[in-house]
Amino acid sequence: MSHTEHVSKYINDPEIITILEKIGEYLDAIDVDRLKIKEGRQNRISMREAICDDYREVFSKQVRPGPPWHQRMCDLLLDMSQRKRDEYVANLATDLGKQITGRKQALSAIYPPGGYLAWHHNADVPGRNLIFTWSKTGEGVFRYVNRTKGYYFDIPDNKGWNVKSFDWYSHGQTEKEGYTWHCAGTDCLRSTLAFVIDSNQMSDEMLEDDFNLTAFNKGCFVSQEDMQIKNEWWEKTKADLKPIPKDLKEALDVSPAGIKYGPR
């Protein structure tokens, strides 16, 4: 399969397309049974609990440090059989970062079917991220909420590679900008590579000209097609999301809270 059929309509740099195609081939060959995730507090809940609106509403009642409290995923850059750095995919990720002039890597993750990053806001690691996400079948979603600005985006995955960019605001910025709540979940093998890039006019122009992303709102760059996509899997999954159970609400109530800055 072509892993870049979707993003090749937007990304103008053939070197980026070549790198993404190679990483896509690597991901497509992964044996899902090798993704052994050690069970613990952080991954005990289900994907549908982690990405539902009720989770976010309960979790945001206190000010949170920034990272997710629940997640089910592996590090993309580790050799899963030996638990050491996989030089092949790590070098490809480095090449991708150089090609986009990324300042550093923010995330390198593989999600098994049922994997997720629960709702969180990254106020501890503020800045602009350029996010590349690969999905084996397109049965995944990225959700974004900024209640201060009134932004509510659900962006289902396309099969193969997807690209978007968001600004995460620090605790000190939230009085003006609000918290940038987001989460991701999948029913198929999924992977994300995110890079920190500059947040300025030149970066805006790069995202618009080189990646054909549209600034739908301040700090939210998404392709026109991705904002309008109707994904059958997500429509069904969203309809199935239910309020989280009492024991999960109680666990969230006692999870780590941070210093209060502005609205949540």
CA atoms within 13 A on the CB side of 213: 25
Q: Which of 1, 3, 187 is nearest to 111 (CA)?
A: 187
SS3 80: coil
Residue 38, domain member (yes or no):
no
Residue 37, domain member (yes or no):
no
Is the Cβ–Cβ distance between 131 and 199 less than 8 Å? no
Residue 41, domain member (yes or no):
no
Residue 262, domain member (yes or no):
no
Q: Which of 261, 251, 262, 260 is nearest to 118 (CA)?
A: 251
Whole domain around residue 78: which residue ranges? 7-32+47-253
Residue 2, domain member (yes or no):
no
Residue 232, domain member (yes or no):
yes
- Separation between Cα atoms, residue 234 and residue 140, nearest integer Å: 7
pLDDT tens sequence for the chain (264 residues) = 699 999 999 999 999 999 999 999 999 999 888 787 888 888 999 999 999 999 999 999 888 889 999 999 999 987 666 566 789 999 999 999 999 988 899 999 999 999 999 999 999 999 999 999 999 999 999 999 999 999 999 999 999 999 999 999 999 998 899 999 999 999 999 999 999 999 999 999 999 999 999 998 889 999 999 998 889 999 999 999 999 999 999 999 888 876 555 455
| pTM listed for this prediction | 0.94
Residue 17, domain member (yes or no):
yes
DSSP H or E stretch at residue 222: strand 220-222
pLDDT given for residue 186 in this prediction:
98
Residue 147, domain member (yes or no):
yes
pLDDT given for residue 63 in this prediction:
84
Number of structural domains in the chain: 1
pLDDT given for residue 102 in this prediction:
86
